[in-house]
Amino acid sequence: MKSTYDALAASDICACLKFGMEAAIKPNLVVPCPASDGATTHPLVVEGIIRFIMDFGITKVKIIESSWVGDSTKRAFKYCGYEELAKKYGIPLIDLKDDGKTTLACEDMEIDVCNEALNTDFLINVPVLKAHSQTRLTCCMKNLKGCIPDSEKRRFHTIGLHKPIAVLNMLLKTGYCVVDGICGDLSFEEGGNPVESNRIIVGKNPLTVDSYCAELIGYAPDEIKHLLFGRELGLGEYFSQKTSLIELNADDKPLYLADKGRIADRYTALIDEDAACSACYSALVFALNKWNQSDFKGKIHIGQGFIGKTGDGIGIGNCASGFANHVTGCPPKATDILSVLKLK
């Protein structure tokens, strides 16, 4: 909770907020599974948002969501810890499956949007940073798909997911994005292959935030078609060197403490790890998942224990910059790691 609060305090969200406005928080509760599985937004992330905006003077807050087709949002609210959260702060949980709809039009496309998502002064989009079996990335832009009726979700799949997602983001304006990067899934939106990153990423523009997050898990923004459509439609710009970026706790990252029975375990034979932080380690795991390493015989060095050390192998992150082949960054992006790995 504190990390979310601190990230918002360091951001420009206060320039967007107005005293007395109404806010809607949209997490990702695609299935009724705990956040530790890598599929759903951690309730502590949402609690940090609630605390922050209430301290600002916003007391009219609601949590809105619609789980994927065939599952129950109410079960997700219960099993993901949101019933307790709502009771603690006295805020309503709105199941958008029970909501009415309004038809909006843009780019020769009509889309039905749930009324509760439209009837708010400020929509806070709180996705999980994870991979997706169809769209490669699911983050801020795709998370708004939970703000449309089930019938519209089905139609999105028949007309191609990417352009409708981009158009939806033109029609339903996000006030601010808070990405739960604590424990996202490596390959599947339903969870089961979680990779710990222990990161909270915040920003105003969903396209800019998504383009940054895409690189964190090993994709160039143009590889994610709904990002490409979004840029063409004028939703925003990709993250670049011109984008202002503030990193908190850069010198005090927690050490990597992942459950060794999880997905990262398959790569331990390749990795020489010594006091690596979770954000750096997770970037390496995402890169390894996209790399054909069958002929690689060496070791990949990562962690604070390699500060000042040298060698002929591969070093990941600024702490291992003394190695002949190294990837800079604290933490580095998975795309940058992949570029170096492909040369080996």
Q: Which tens digits make up the pLDDT trace of 230-278?
A: 999 999 999 998 898 887 875 555 444 444 335 556 677 788 888 777 6
Last residue of a domain, one of 215, 233, 251: 233
Are residues 281 and 167 both part of a single domain?
Answer: no
Are residues 217 and 275 both part of a single domain?
Answer: no
Are residues 205 and 276 both part of a single domain?
Answer: no
Are residues 277 and 221 both part of a single domain?
Answer: no
Determine whether 34 is exposed, middle or buried from the number of CB atoms within 10 Å of its CB (0-12, 13-18, 19+): middle
Segments in the chain below pLDDT 70:
133, 186-192, 250-266, 278-279, 294-295, 344
Are residues 280 and 324 both part of a single domain?
Answer: yes
Residue 240 belongs to a domain: no
| CA angle 128–320–263, rounded 5-degree value | 35
Q: Give the chain's domain count.
A: 2
Are residues 227 and 268 both part of a single domain?
Answer: no
The pLDDT value recorded for residue 188 is 52
Are residues 182 and 310 both part of a single domain?
Answer: no
The single-letter DSSP state of residue 254 is: P
The pLDDT value recorded for residue 212 is 95
How far apart are the C-alpha atoms of 333 and 340, rounded to whole Å? 11
Are residues 299 and 210 both part of a single domain?
Answer: no
How far apart are the C-alpha atoms of 306 and 69, rounded to whole Å? 48
Percent of the chain with pLDDT over 70: 90
Are residues 181 and 89 both part of a single domain?
Answer: yes
Are residues 20 and 160 both part of a single domain?
Answer: yes
The pLDDT value recorded for residue 263 is 54
pLDDT digits (tens, 9 = 90+) for 157-171: 889 889 999 999 999
The pLDDT value recorded for residue 115 is 98
Q: Could you tell me how far CA 190 lies from the centroid of its own chain?
A: 14
The domain in which residue 185 lies consists of 2-233
